[in-house]
C-alpha cells in the first residue's frame, strides 16, 4: 500500500480500536481507506446510525492523521513494516478470521504467509514436565519435511519463551506476537531474545505506537497467535489462563487444537485435561501425531529402523537401559525400572516422560510402561 493510504488505514484502526468486525465492514464502503474520510456527515450517518463516536472521529480527524503520519514515517525509517489487510503481504491465514486486525506492525526477516505454522502456548508457571515436552515437540517438528513449520507464540514467561528459544535452537523460524507496540517489549527481560527472533522470524503486533499496556491487550493478542497458525498446541494450563483462551480461539477458527495431557491433580494440567475431555483439543504426546494429522510427513520414504537401531538412538545411557529393560519384560512399573537401572525414581520418571513424548514407550492407567517400537 502507498504511503498516504497507509496513514489513513492506521487512522481507521485507531478509530475502531477493538471493534475489528466493524472496522472491516467500514472498509467495504470504499476502494481505498482515504476515500472513507471524504464521506459526508449524512453518508456516515447512513452507515453508523446513532453511533456518533465513529462519525465524529472521521469528520474531525486532522490531529489523528498527523499522529498516524508521524508514526508511518518513523516506522519506515526503522524498517518496520505496516501491513494493511488488503496488502499481498498480509498473512492469508489470519485474514480468514472475522476479527483480524486491519493493520499489522512487523519487524523481522520472515514473510508472514508461511505454508506451515504451529502456535505453542501455555502457562507462565511452566513445570519441568511442560518445558521438557515443549522442547521435545519443537525439536521433532524441526525434523518434518520441507517446508519447515514456523513456531508462533506470545513472548511471555514460561511456555511461550520456551517455544521461541526451542525454535531458534532447532533451526525453525519463530514469530513473537506482542500485546504491546513494536518497541515495548514485555516482559522487559525478554528483550535479550528479540534481535535473534527478528533475524530468524519476527516481532508482530496490531498495537500502534504509544499504546498503553493493559491486561486485556494480551487477550486481544491471542487471536493473532491462533489465527496465524494451522494448529495450536496447549502445553500446561490452569483452569483459567491466556493459553486456554488462545486454544479456544483456535477452535473457533476451525484450527487443529492439541493439548498435552497431565496428572489429574496437577493444577497446571487442569486446563489441558479439560480441553481434551471437552473434545476441543486432541491429546498430544509427540509431534508426530500433529504431523500425521496435518499430512506433513516427509515425502521421502526413509525406511524402517530395526528395534536395535531404535533403542540405540537415545542419546543417554539411562534411556537406553530403560528401553532394553522393556524389551526383556513386556510391562514394568517405575519401581521395577529403578531397581533394574539403578537410578532413582525422579530420574527414571523424567526419562520415561521424554520417551513417551518420543513415542517410544506408553503407559496404562495402572502406571505400567510398555515398549511401543517394534
DSSP state of 210: T
**Residues 147, 152: Cα–Cα separation, whole Å:** 15
Does the pLDDT of residue 161 top 70, yes or no?
yes
Q: What is the average per-residue pLDDT within 225-252?
A: 94
Same domain? 136 vs 273: yes
Which residues have C-beta within 8 Å of that of residue 15, sequence separation ≥ 6? 23, 54, 57, 58, 61, 64
Banded model confidence at residue 366, pLDDT cuts 50, 70, 90: confident
Per-residue pLDDT reduced to its tens digit, 262-309? 888 889 899 999 999 999 999 998 888 898 888 887 544 344 444 444
The reply to whether 174 and 240 lie within a common domain is: yes
Round to whole Å and give the CA distance between 251 and 287. Answer: 19
- The total of other beta-carbon atoms located within 10 Å of residue 364's CB is 9
Do 152 and 235 sit in the same domain of this protein? yes
Considering the domain architecture, whether residues 326 and 278 belong to the same structural domain is answered as no
| Contact present, 202 and 172 (Cβ < 8 Å) | no
Q: In which band, very low, low, confident or very high, does the pLDDT at 137 lie, cut at 50, 70 and 90?
A: very high
Q: What is the pTM of this model?
A: 0.79
Lowest mean pLDDT among 119-128, 156-165, 238-247, 352-361: 352-361
Residues 128 and 275 in one domain: yes
Helices (H) and strands (E) in the chain, counts: 18, 12
Helix, strand or coil, per DSSP, at residue 233: strand
C-alpha 222/C-alpha 229 separation (Å) is 11
| Per-residue confidence (pLDDT) for residue 315, from 0 to 100 | 58
Residue 246 located in a structural domain: yes
Count how many domains the chain has.
Answer: 3
Q: Which domain holds residue 241?
A: 117-294
* Domain CATH for 142: 3.40.50.450
Question: Are 270 and 341 in a shared domain?
Answer: no
pLDDT at 189 over 80: yes
Q: Is residue 302 part of a domain?
A: no
Beta-sheet strand order (sheet of 331-332):
331-332, 369-371, 361-363
What's the rounded Cα separation, in Å, for the pair 355 and 274?
A: 24
pLDDT at residue number 231: 96
326 — pLDDT class (breaks 50, 70, 90): confident
Question: Quick one: pLDDT at residue 371?
Answer: 81
Q: Give 221's pLDDT tier (boundaries 50, 70, 90).
A: very high
Whole-number Å distance between alpha carbons of 204 and 265: 36
Q: How far apart are CA 330 and CA 368, in angstroms?
A: 10
Contacts of 279 (CB under 8 A, 6+ apart): none
- Tell me: do 183 and 219 sit in the same domain: yes
Whole-Å CA distances, 230 to 26, 140, 154: 28, 17, 16
Q: Comparing 302 with 157, which gets the higher pLDDT?
A: 157
Domain closes at, from 266, 294, 322 = 294
**Percentage of the chain with pLDDT > 90?**
67
Question: Which CATH number goes with the domain that contains 315?
Answer: 1.10.10.10
Average pLDDT over residues 344-352: 88
Is the same domain home to 231 and 122? yes
Asked if the structure places residue 96 within a domain, the reply is no
Whether the per-residue pLDDT at 139 is higher than 80: the answer is yes
- 273 plus 318 within the same structural domain: no
- Residue 172, all three cell numbers: 525453525
Domain assignment of residue 100, yes or no:
no
CB 167 within 8 A of CB 173: yes
- Per-residue pLDDT, averaged over 234-243, amounts to 91
Clarify whether residues 127 and 267 are in a common domain: yes
SS3 state at 124? coil
The average confidence (pLDDT) of the chain is: 89
Position 116 scores a pLDDT of 95
pLDDT of residue 181: 97
What average pLDDT does the segment 173-202 reach? Answer: 96
Q: Which has the higher per-residue pLDDT, 104 or 344?
A: 104
Quote the pLDDT of residue 8. Answer: 96
pLDDT, position 53: 86
Q: Which residues contact 329 (CB under 8 A, 6 or more apart)?
A: 336
Helices marked H in the chain — which ranges?
A: 3-16, 20-27, 33-36, 41-48, 52-59, 62-77, 92-95, 128-141, 159-169, 191-199, 215-227, 242-252, 270-277, 287-294, 307-312, 317-328, 334-341, 345-357
- Residue 91 maps to a domain: no
359 pLDDT higher than 80: no
pLDDT band at residue 3 using 50, 70 and 90 as cut-offs: confident
Residue 176 lies in a domain: yes
Residue 133 and residue 281 in one domain: yes
Interval 64-104: pLDDT, tens:
999 999 999 999 999 999 999 999 999 999 999 999 999 99
Statement to judge: residues 21 and 131 lie in one domain: no
Q: If you search the block for the grid coordinates 533394574, which residue do you land on? A: 340
Asked whether residue 332 is domain-assigned, the answer is yes
Does any domain span residue 92? Answer: no
Query: Is the pLDDT reported for residue 30 higher than 50?
Result: yes
Amino acid at each position: 500500500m502507498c504511503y498516504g493510504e497507509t496513514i489513513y488505514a492506521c487512522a481507521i484502526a485507531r478509530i475502531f480500536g477493538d471493534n475489528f468486525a466493524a472496522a472491516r465492514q467500514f472498509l467495504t464502503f470504499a476502494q481505498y481507506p482515504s476515500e472513507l474520510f471524504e464521506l459526508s456527515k449524512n453518508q456516515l450517518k447512513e452507515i453508523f446510525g446513532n453511533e456518533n463516536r465513529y462519525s465524529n472521529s472521521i469528520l474531525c480527524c486532522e490531529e489523528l492523521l498527523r499522529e498516524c503520519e508521524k508514526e508511518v514515517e518513523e516506522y519506515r525509517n526503522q524498517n518496520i513494516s505496516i501491513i494493511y489487510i488488503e496488502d499481498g503481504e498480509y498473512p492469508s491465514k489470519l485474514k480468514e478470521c472475522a476479527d483480524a486486525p486491519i493493520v499489522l506492525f512487523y519487524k523481522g526477516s520472515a514473510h508472514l504467509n508461511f505454508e506451515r505454522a504451529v502456535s505453542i502456548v501455555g502457562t507462565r508457571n511452566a513445570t519441568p514436565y511442560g518445558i521438557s515436552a515443549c522442547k521435545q515437540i519443537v525439536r521433532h517438528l524441526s525434523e518434518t519435511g520441507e517446508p519447515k513449520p514456523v513456531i508462533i507464540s506470545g513472548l511471555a514467561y514460561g511456555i511461550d519463551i520456551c517455544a521461541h528459544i526451542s525454535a531458534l535452537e532447532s533451526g525453525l523460524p519463530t514469530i513473537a506476537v506482542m500485546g504491546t507496540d513494536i518497541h515495548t517489549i514485555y516482559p522487559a527481560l525478554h528483550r535479550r531474545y528479540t534481535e535473534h527472533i527478528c533475524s530468524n522470524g519476527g516481532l508482530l503486533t496490531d498495537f500502534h505506537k504509544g499504546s498503553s499496556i493493559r491486561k486485556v491487550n494480551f487477550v486481544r493478542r491471542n487471536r493473532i497467535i491462533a489465527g496465524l497458525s494451522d494448529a495450536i498446541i496447549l502445553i500446561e494450563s490452569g483452569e483459567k489462563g491466556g493459553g486456554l483462551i488462545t486454544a479456544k480461539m483456535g477452535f473457533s477458527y476451525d484450527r487443529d487444537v492439541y493439548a498435552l495431557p497431565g496428572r489429574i491433580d496437577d493444577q497446571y494440567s487442569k486446563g489441558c485435561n479439560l480441553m481434551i475431555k471437552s473434545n476441543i483439543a486432541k491429546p498430544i504426546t509427540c509431534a508426530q501425531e500433529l504431523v500425521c494429522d496435518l499430512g506433513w510427513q516427509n515425502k521421502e520414504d526413509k525406511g524402517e529402523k530395526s528395534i536395535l537401531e531404535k533403542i540405540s538412538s537415545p542419546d543417554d545411557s539411562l534411556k537406553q537401559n530403560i528401553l532394553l529393560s522393556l524389551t526383556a519384560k513386556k510391562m514394568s512399573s517405575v519401581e521395577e525400572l529403578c531397581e533394574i537401572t539403578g537410578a532413582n525414581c525422579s530420574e527414571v520418571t523424567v526419562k520415561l516422560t521424554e520417551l513417551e513424548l518420543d513415542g517410544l514407550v506408553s503407559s496404562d492407567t495402572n502406571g505400567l510402561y510398555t515398549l511401543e517400537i517394534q
